[in-house]
Structure 1
């Protein structure tokens, strides 16, 4: 009997060892998966959705790229539209983190939805005409000519409200061929030759110098557009949203804005 015990013990030991090998392998695999999962989680970026007025389209794309480069853990996604459209989206609960409008009136109407706003830039109106100003438009009074095809933004749009303000102040009556939902739509009509002239922001005309000319409006006859920025109370990234809004007032961001033609806040 004693001669059989040793072989049996040896066999049992071999079986046990054989069973432990795959278990060890499984343990190593789980460990690697865990490490991989940790790396993925660590590399995940905070994504911000910023609702911004149409007139900020070009400059914000540039500013966003600079911000992302400086803040490697944050990606900024912009949604551009007329300020009144953006306000409607906010009231309807659209998922977003921050808002920048082209007027204080629209922002003031969102006190229940947004944090304390900060004005980050200002702008002024110009008369956009076809390249070379073929209709020889020299000022606001020329827009009253019934032979001209003039396009304006709708009155509920900030640039449309500013346009009405300056025209009314000069007692100039204009019958627009269309009223557009945002400033970029007005600019597009002039670019495409579907209108002879339109009231747009100075910065918008500057984005299309190869297709339109800009006729300056004297300051005494002009209106100043203010751009307030604020975080949204429904943001799921409150700290990151606040950081971006704050950055818009920094010297670096202001340099980008003013380089695009916007005025100091």
Structure 2
């Protein structure tokens, strides 16, 4: 099975922490040259310097805040002007928690820009190079809410569903060019995002955070939270030549939590 990414270039969003960071580390280990994209320059510098270089890759980064699509456009324009991109990992932080009935209208617009608009900007920039190389992997980190909406995540549930539909449409349009588009749906994964959700729910319900944590664990057949590295392993496979006929799918990585086939 060919899972080598030697000679491939990957752009990874939200790659200074959590799932994005784990994916960057895994892709680099498999031989990809990684270009990190996030808003914290100091963290980007430190992480880029620490990425594995089994094939003497020269990793780099660009600073961009996904809350500002123009920054994302400027960053990816500079990237593709210098090198073709074979792998794109669309990953950025989720919207703040809260019931959908209480959400401000602007919260939907903000989330739409951070996810759909920024994803579209990135994809449009990398498609020409992928077509020329007859190799492209677009992988979107979304959420299991694509299948079953999560409680107290009204805005996120809405935008995640829109992202999945956007990706499926895109997969149909690009498949003939050797480009695949797939989604990973993380369940409860040990990241800063999960910690934040636990703390928010505990504060809202006025209970100890351990109560919320245990309730979450009770929903998972595996009885544990996921590791970011476990999500990264799935992303790495989807990015590889071995996954060339996997296209247009959404794969839950959730310990069995999602209650649908």
TM-score (norm 2): 0.32
Q: Which has the larger radius of gyration?
A: 1
Higher strand share: 1
TM-score (norm 1): 0.31
